[in-house]
């Protein structure tokens, strides 16, 4: 059972275009993290969002956590070839057997062409 659904699975765009990646769940998360992963390497943490409705910006990347803390989005403005990679969202829940476990989406493979 995939608790976190990411869309789209693949995204191929030209340099300069904008894009949005979505991460949806029927479960509530105490926090949600976005990672970027390059081939053969581990995921690199981009941001953690904690509060419902929270918006965080990291240069050209804007992250939003849904009001109900069940969904999130990543928006990239004026994409560059260096943004190419696998983008992963991961949710964390506190308490019980879920504590400490990050549930990942299946990822979005982004390719930005020069």
Partner 1 sequence: ETGVTQSPTHLIKTRGQQVTLRCSSQSGHNTVSWYQQALGQGPQFIFQYYREEENGRGNFPPRFSGLQFPNYSSELNVNALELDDSALYLCASSPPQGYNEQFFGPGTRLTVL
Sequence-separated (6 or more) residues with CB below 8 Å from residue 86: 36, 37, 38, 107, 108, 109, 110
Among residues 35 and 63, whose Cβ is nearest to partner 1? 35
Q: Cβ of residue 75: shortest distance to partner 1, in angstroms?
A: 20
Candidate ranges 12-20, 35-43, 59-67, 68-76; the one touching partner 1 (CB under 8 A): 35-43
Query: Do the bridges between strand 85-92 and strand 108-113 make them parallel or antiparallel, or are there none, so unpaired?
Result: antiparallel
Q: Is 72 near partner 1 (CB under 8 A)? A: no
Q: Sketch the per residue contact string, 46 through 65, with partner 1: x for CB under 8 A, - otherwise.
A: --x-x---------------
Instruction: Number of residues interacting with partner 1: please give it, by CB under 8 A.
Output: 29
Q: Is residue 106 within 8 Å of residue 87, measured between CB atoms?
A: no
Sequence-separated (6 or more) residues with CB below 8 Å from residue 113: 12, 13, 14, 15, 81
Chain residues in the site for partner 1 (CB under 8 A) = 4, 6, 30-31, 33, 35, 40-45, 48, 50, 88, 90, 92, 94, 97-107
């Amino acid at each position: 059972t995939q608790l976190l659904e990411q869309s789209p699975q693949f995204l191929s765009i030209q340099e300069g275009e904008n894009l949005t990646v979505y991460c949806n769940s029927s479960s509530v998360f105490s926090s949600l993290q976005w990672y970027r992963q390059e081939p053969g390497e581990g995921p690199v943490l981009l941001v953690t969002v904690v509060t419902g409705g929270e918006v965080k910006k990291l240069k050209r990347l804007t992250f939003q956590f849904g009001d109900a803390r069940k969904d999130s989005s990543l928006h990239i403005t004026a994409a560059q070839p260096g943004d190419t990679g696998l983008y992963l969202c991961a949710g964390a829940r506190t308490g019980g057997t879920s504590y400490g476990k990050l549930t990942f989406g299946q990822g979005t493979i982004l390719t930005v062409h020069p």
